[in-house]
Structure 1
């Protein structure tokens, strides 16, 4: 299992491109049984980030589980990608056979802060 804030993972993939470890990092991520990506949709994706996310989703599709966490409803995810063709490709791989859980209520961080 691996947990990443999506923005940090995308920066890491950019760095791995520069240092020549991109393919190795993608291979490692594709083999991870459970990949949790948090904070989807907080920032618009840049062109290279869209391509990296497509590569990652394509490598993982049908092989291992990916959990995408977002404060945005799933019907707003399409606009977060920023390119219609890549949005179709990324979200098709991510959402096909997906289980969607919509949670309501106060933030756990807020609730835990009240306990302290």
Structure 2
């Protein structure tokens, strides 16, 4: 049998749970006054399960709104192709401290080395921590920006970007972007500066960004805002997709090895 002190303690826990669930304190008061020990325990467990269920659903909704192209986590992620900066450890990356500090990540390297996987895994972790997150390919973002501008809802769209905690831009610099679209993209970068953390994946070194975004001065301003509070992660090695492609075995013996002539 529970002591009066134990019952009052359980009542306080029930009250705390009721507040989380936005329920009346009448529930906790009534439980302490009228419920049996077993009923008190049951109500406490029931409320805890409801809190857990709501949190799980909240995370699911956040992940759905983020619009990830796939579900990826850090579970089993191999860092063998990643060169982290000395001031950023694997643990610090996965803890998302950089998001809280409004810092950026630039994931640079050839295709197939896990840049997008890392970006998505970081975004999933951010959703689980309650950070408002959104994933775009750069091409997809540009299309949405142009559509918003043409429909006179650009300011509303920009406000939704500014309200994010983490913005992920995949495939940065993969295709050339016209001047008007580049200007809109610059505005996104400028609005996020020191307000929203960004993750960019790219296979293009900074010196070549000007070839993609048409205006070298604007490109320099973009780079300045991205790298000022950012970390550069360099991906090197052999493409994971090529390494594990089924076609490699199927074409073995069919595709001749290339001879190098000196």
The TM-score normalised by the length of structure 2 is 0.41
Greater RCO, 1 or 2 (C-alpha within 8 Å, sep 6+): 1
**Number of equivalenced pairs:** 114
- RMSD of Structure 2 on Structure 1 (CA): 1.6
Give the match for residue 145 of structure 2: 13
Deviations 1:20-71 (A, max 9, x none): 2111111111221111101111111211111101111111100111111111
Match of 1:99 among 218, 231, 236: 231
Q: Which runs of 5+ in 1 are unaligned?
A: none
Contact between 1:78 and 1:91, CA under 8 Å: does it hold in 2?
no
Q: Which runs of 5+ in 2 are unaligned?
A: 1-132, 247-262
Give the match for residue 200 of structure 2: 68
Residues 21 and 67 of structure 1: CA distance in aligned 2, closer, same or farther (over 3 Å):
same
104-113 or 52-61: which moved more?
104-113
Structure 1 residue 7, shift from structure 2 partner: 0.5
Residues in 2 aligned to 1:112 and 1:43: alpha-carbon distance in whole angstroms: 26
Contact between 2:162 and 2:192, CA under 8 Å: does it hold in 1?
yes
Contact between 2:206 and 2:223, CA under 8 Å: does it hold in 1?
no
